[in-house]
Amino acid sequence: MRVEFEHERGGALAYLAAWDVRRAKVFGRCETTTGIQPFGRLAQQVMEQEPYRTASRVFWIVDNSSSHRGGAAVRRLQGKYANLILVHLPVHASWLNQVEIYFSVIQRKVLTPNDFSNLTQVADRLLALQSFYEQIAKPFEWKFNRADLHELMHNISQPVPTTLAA
């Protein structure tokens, strides 16, 4: 994109989102920055509504961003929501997080090209895609169960026979 010399940056916007893989539900919000408080507001947005408020366990799979990294984040979030279980992905494994698929759609369908006049326009487009995405998204169908895991672990633990060619 060509930018005239008079072009002024309009600031930045942080879009935080949580993805319920079982219901194909997106919870998103636009914030002026990232951090502990904005992430806390996202958690509140999700955890204060059904079925999450009364579920026995709600697993949050997160990367290692500073807003939800480590034991302090676990204590802070579980102190507020006893049924919230924070699961940290290994470093450099964000591709394991299902919400990253959604973020890649946002990058391609909303943010490229970056031709917005102001931040309100960005927020409106993000939230419009969020609404549309929920209409077309399908819940993830879990097929891998405990028995499958037990069998896999058993197979992994078996010694691999070696053969020598003479």
Contact by Cβ (8 Å): 116, 91: no
Q: Is the dihedral of CA 76, 95, 136, 16 positive or negative?
A: positive
For the chain, residues with pLDDT lower than 70 are 1-10, 142, 162-166
Which pLDDT score, from 0 to 100, does residue 133 have?
Answer: 92
pLDDT in tens, 138-163: 887 767 788 988 898 888 888 877 66
Q: What are the extents of the domains in the chain?
A: 14-157
pLDDT in tens, 112-123: 888 888 999 999
- AA identity, residue 129: L
CA separation for the pair 36, 6 (Å, rounded) = 35
Phi, psi of 27 (to 5 degrees): -115, 115
Please provide the CATH number assigned to the domain covering 14-157: 3.30.420
